[in-house]
Structures are given as structure tokens and as C-alpha cells.
Amino acid sequence: MGGISLAKETFKGQINHGITLVNFYTHGSGPSQEQLLITEELAQGIRHQATVANVDMEQEKELAAEYGVSSVPTLMLFKDGYQLETLVGHQSKEALQQMIDRYANMSDSCV
């Protein structure tokens, strides 16, 4: 498994350090499961650039509500605690990689 699982208790601690791509998903959604496979594959190739984390919305309803997630898949990109991007719907591995590359190559003063 490439990505890590996050719960409400561990969420803030993870997103406060470096770049984290968070994938909100559910088990009952086909598109959500497809996105989960893509993010897991992505996680294998970006270990030194970013962390990929998954949040099961069925288990973490309060966390999903706190971040305004109402449909899946929803992906959010955080850098040092700041939410930089929110993407709703299926995203390709290439598009996610480009987004991560863009923020990884930015100096901290640009965020």
C-alpha cells in the first residue's frame, strides 16, 4: 500500500508537514475506488515529494463535513497546513503528478 490512512485524530498532524495529497473516498463508489487505485499507484512514485493519504468518508463523516466534502472522489492538496487545491471527480495520475510537481518546486514564500 502506497498511501496512508488518516482519521480525524491524525489528519492535522499529517497535513501540517510538507505536501500531502488527501483522497476522500467511499467503498461503495466505483469512481471512488478507481481513484483510490490511481492515488495508490501515484504514492509509490512520489515518496520523496509528497505523502498520499486516504480518508474513508464512511468512517470519517465529521472530518469530511469539516472540509466541505460532499461527493467522491474529492482530492485536496495541502502544503505545510495550507489547503492549496481541491479537485472533485476523477483525476488522472499524470494530472495529480503535475500538480504535486508544481507545488514541490515552489519556494515556501510562494505558498
How do residues 40-79 score in pLDDT, each as one tens digit?
999 999 978 999 999 999 999 999 999 999 999 999 999 9
Helices marked H in the chain — which ranges? 8-15, 30-45, 61-66, 93-104
Determine, yes or no, domain membership for 62. yes
Domain of 14, CATH number, reads 3.40.30.10
The distance in angstroms from the start CA to the end CA of the chain is: 30
pLDDT higher than 70, residue 109: no
Q: Dump pLDDT digits (tens) for 4-26.
A: 999 999 999 999 999 999 999 99
Determine, yes or no, domain membership for 111. no
Is residue 22 left, alpha or beta, with left meaning phi > 0 and alpha meaning psi from -120 to 50? beta
Determine, yes or no, domain membership for 34. yes
Helix (H, G, I), strand (E, B) or coil at 8: helix
Determine, yes or no, domain membership for 50. yes
Determine, yes or no, domain membership for 46. yes
Give Cα 59 to chain centroid, integer Å.
16
pLDDT score at 1 = 52
Q: Give the global pTM.
A: 0.92
- Identify the domain containing residue 43 by its residue range: 4-106
